[in-house]
Structure 1
Amino acid sequence: MRWVVIVAVVALGVGVPGPAFAWAERAREACRITDPAVTEASGLAALPGGGYLVENDSNPEPRKTRLFYLGADCRVTRSVGYPTTARDPEDLAVDAKGTVWIADIGDNSPLTGGSGKRRDTIALWTLAPGAKSMKIHRLRYPDGTPRDAEALLIDGQGRPVIVTKDPSGEVFRLETPLPTDNVEGAPLTRIGRFEATHSGTSNPFGFLGGSFVTGAAVSPDGTRAVVRTYADAYEFDVPDGDVAKAITTGKPRVTPLPDEPQGEAIAYTPDGKDFLTVSDQAGPVSILRYPVERPAPSPSPSPTPTEAAKQADRGAGPGEPGPGRQGKVALLTGAFVVVAVGLVAAAARRARRR
């Protein structure tokens, strides 16, 4: 009887959904950045025609904190400096119009390894196609409390969305027109929180590394968005362009990004199929490419009762598909469960008669 019970439990467990983890193939190196000018790359984007964009994190020498254009081989082809000092650039994005956005939103506290300096405003820098210099746009959090953040997304309406670095990062969006060269920061609106699960993916920062938000990106067609931690990438469907809603209320697919030295950047490939990442480190560093598995398109709607009856009457003839593989598995599993439960009940009755 003990074996029958075990079989029944296993059978009943078949089909119980587990975590939505998309275990990608092992990452491969897209190219390796060796130019010493590119240090502590904390933001990354792929260019449609090939090549990449990266931006430096804060640098003791302000002139070395720049936006770098890289070829497909990761060699620097040109760079653009900031008109004034950038305090702590942490992410970048390229919108549907080709404008480059740099998120000068870092504010490292002692908790996240910084000096504890706090800033009243944060900034976004934009570089429009063909422009020779960047423009600055200052923002502030609605309650006036400084926060450390490293993730920027641009939604379907061209609105910037910022996710703070702290565990269960807060999600903010700019609802008003984007100001330019302003002194006082335009207020952001709090939308909700992004919730990271503690997946257990190996990373240099252990338990907390799976919670800290370090980067984000939107797919080239705008239908998906990804938020990353030091350990994993969380991808959401964005059916209506509302990125903030998707990452605060949607169900993600999780792709592990194991053992990246200090993974703080993520981007989509130009075709939107794979993820690209890079670590915020000094010295030569690789851009990694992760092939990502995604669910197949949803099946066609179930037939109406009348249509189902007609199909049952005529059967599945030549050219008419019978039950699919998943349907057959489900039928076999159901039959197995029924038989197993019947055997359990019969064994119980025999035990009572004894």
Structure 2
Amino acid sequence: MSFFIEMLLKLFFILSIIPFLLSEKLQKKYDMKINPQIAYTYFTGPKKVALIGEEFIEETSGMAVSRKNPSWIYVHNDSGGEPEVYILDTLGTFLGTIRLEGVENRDWEDLAIGPGPEEGKSYLYIGDIGDNFGKFEGLIIYRIPEPESLEKEMTVSPEIIKLIFPDGPKDTETLLVDPISGDLFILTKREAKNTLYKAAGDLLKDGHTVELEKVMQLPITLSVGGDVSADGSQVLIKNYWVVYYWERTEGETLEQTLSGKATLLPYEPEPQGEAIAFSPEGNTYFTLSEKKLRVNPVLYRYDRAVVDK
């Protein structure tokens, strides 16, 4: 039965993406905006940066742009991949690998950057948070400091933080870390309205198990990735078809920001686009797909629109 449900979900995805692919082709052909709800005044694009040719980077599910080295992009594969984070530059060139020692890639689904136990340091949060059939007792977050320098092959022993839901297992693919509070957020995927859960930053300690707090439902379904800008002022969440965007007012919690109305940003339809990330300055966001339907993944960038004065 599980196999049958998975096949139905894949069929639904393939059928549902056809209108978006057609609309994107029409838009390019006739130079018109198919979806009037999309705000092209915030960000423009896409710009095709590069075709990612490395065979070991073909199930990209998580992405984050380095806060220490803005020319680095961290990516990882999802379930069945190696327990490794790969480093690209912002032109799509492969630079190196960080291998997480003593752990496995059960179903890594998203990647975030934020504060951690040592003040002033920047940390990678790797979310082993996928659970297609709701069977895992808990989710796992692996936390490692950003590397100080670049080597072709690096190995690190991660902190391991376990998360459990207060109301039973959930499938999730979106991980957010608030750079202001240090709080961590998980967004579910399967429901008609995805549910946001929170773990307070001061509870995120190596070896600890944290029960997530249920925060609210969002009018989004099939969420697959997200990011918070380095200064905490902007938030992105995407599903397979749409990029949602919020601007945060000073003094707001992240929950308060996400309870407001989202703006829809430009997005290039991808075969299975699950990864999205801001540049450290917050004036660019990148997207990257898994390799699906024999289509190689393309790194796209979207730049802040220039407003004429």
Q: Same fold by TM-score, threshold 0.5 exceeded?
A: yes
* Equivalence for 1:213: 223
Q: How far off is 1:278 after superposition?
A: 0.6
Structure 2 counterpart of 1:246, one-letter code: T
Runs (4+) off by over 6 Å: none
Distance in 1 (alpha carbons) for counterparts of 2:306 and 2:142 = 33
Paired residue for 1:139, among 148, 160, 163?
A: 163
* Equivalence for 1:84: 103
* Equivalence for 1:245: 256
% identical equivalent positions? 26
* Equivalence for 1:177: 203
Matched pairs, number: 252
* Equivalence for 2:86: 68
Paired residue for 1:49, among 70, 92, 101?
A: 70
Name the TM-score, length of structure 1 as normaliser.
0.65
Paired residue for 1:231, among 213, 238, 241?
A: 241
Secondary structure, aligned partner of 2:271: coil
Distance in 1 (alpha carbons) for counterparts of 2:276 and 2:266 = 13
Contact 2:127-2:141 at 8 Å conserved across structures: yes
* Equivalence for 1:124: 141
Contact 2:142-2:159 at 8 Å conserved across structures: yes
* Equivalence for 1:317: none
Secondary structure, aligned partner of 1:259: coil
* Equivalence for 1:299: none
Shift of the 245–55 alpha-carbon distance from structure 1 to 2, 3 Å rule, reads same
* Higher share in strand: 2
Secondary structure, aligned partner of 1:29: strand
Secondary structure, aligned partner of 1:90: strand
* Higher share in helix: 1
* Equivalence for 2:123: 99
Paired residue for 2:264, among 227, 240, 254?
A: 254
**Tell me, which stretches of 5 or more residues in structure 2 are unaligned?**
1-34, 116-120, 149-155
Q: How far off is 1:255 after superposition?
A: 1.1
* Equivalence for 1:308: none
Secondary structure, aligned partner of 2:203: coil
Distance in 2 (alpha carbons) for counterparts of 1:21 and 1:292 = 14
Q: How far off is 1:40 after superposition?
A: 0.4
Shift of the 241–52 alpha-carbon distance from structure 1 to 2, 3 Å rule, reads farther
Root-mean-square deviation (Å): 2.5
* Larger radius of gyration between Structure 1 and Structure 2: 1
1:1-354 matched pairs, under 5 angstroms: 21-23=38-40, 25-47=44-66, 48-59=69-80, 64-82=82-100, 83-96=102-115, 97-108=121-132, 116=133, 118-130=135-147, 132-143=156-167, 145-155=168-178, 156-166=180-190, 167-175=192-200, 177-182=203-208, 185-196=209-220, 211-239=221-249, 240=251, 242-247=253-258, 249-281=259-291, 284-293=296-305
Structure 2 counterpart of 1:285, one-letter code: P
Distance in 2 (alpha carbons) for counterparts of 1:270 and 1:70 = 15
Shift of the 179–152 alpha-carbon distance from structure 1 to 2, 3 Å rule, reads same
Name the TM-score, length of structure 2 as normaliser.
0.74
Shift of the 71–293 alpha-carbon distance from structure 1 to 2, 3 Å rule, reads closer
Q: How far off is 1:295 after superposition?
A: 9.0
